[in-house]
Structure 1
């Protein structure tokens, strides 16, 4: 008796889909990096703020712009049923990414003594790279979850067509009763 099953995408198809997602993630992320570095540069040179304060301000502004890009472009087809949950998780994981980025910058400036503006930018690039990897995995896994595919039961190829309407309900009830009789017979 032959059965038909829904075909699972191959590994190559999954990797192509993931690479397309990674490219779009990179485009949104790159726009966030431009915002992040522009605000950082203005804060340390124009406003003369400390490097960690400048980094936090720049990252918070970039997080806001990135959310808009992720939600309304990259992950627009993902489940948005619970926007409050999504925003909470996005801010949580973005904050963790910001801590990674700021930690690398702080380590570079305060422990290694690399405190020129260009050394700070180099440390910011390293921290941003680590934070980006963390964010990519977090966002796609927990924040912007894929809408599950509907499960379509498969029937044997040579099986008769399922009855429609009330006949389908009766047939289903008969199957349940038969299964219950078998279960009770085994229990005795």
Structure 2
């Protein structure tokens, strides 16, 4: 009989994954906002140009965070394929983000720095992030192909999560006797 993860376990794993994705995304958001405002306000670049530069910086930050933390137990065999797909789906997210900004700034005439930030970094980034979460977990950071690999991955995720909560105890020094257990054994 095949060992299957229960729906509850899968939902719990997805919630952990979404929380990690969100944490990486929050850091990328800070990079995105800081670079966007530095380019558009301090350097005086056009809003869309500033948005593209900012999103590109955040994409680099997010790739590293997602590959080495959020999806660290996922398939690592095709790094060039993974990086290419990550870039492709990130660029689609960038088009979503900056499309909302362009619509707001040029289409509706909301040209204040606050309006640009709300359009790009709240509405556009929110929609783009939903798309990225789905595409990254579905196409970029794939699960292993076989049930045995999936079980090994589930165990690795559980062990990694347990290690994050409770670091491994230090090994006993060689040659030292172990303390006696209660009851004289």
> Under TM normalisation by the shorter chain, which class is it?
0.7 to 0.9
1:103 aligns with 2:93: no
- Separation of aligned partners in 2, 1:122 and 1:136: 21
- Between the two proteins, the alignment pairs up a number of residues equal to 148
Q: Structure 2: give runs of 5+ residues left out of the alignment.
A: 150-185
**2:44 matches 1:52:** no
2:26 paired residue number: 30
Alignment partners' CA distance in 2, 1:151 and 1:30: 34
CA distance in 2, matches of 1:66, 1:80: 17
Match of 2:110 among 114, 118, 139: 114
Instruction: Determine if the alignment matches structure 1 residue 143 to structure 2 residue 120.
Output: no
Q: List structure 1 runs of 4+ shifted beyond 2 angstroms.
A: 148-152
CA RMSD, 1 decimal: 1.3
Q: Gaps spanning 5+ residues in structure 1: where? A: 153-188
Q: Deviations over 1:95-150 (max 9, x none)?
A: 00000000000000011111100011110110000000000000000000012344
SS at match of 2:28: helix
TM-score, normalization by structure 2: 0.77
**SS of residue paired to 1:114:** coil
What TM-score comes out, normalization by structure 1 length? 0.76
Which position in structure 2 is the counterpart of 1:68?
64
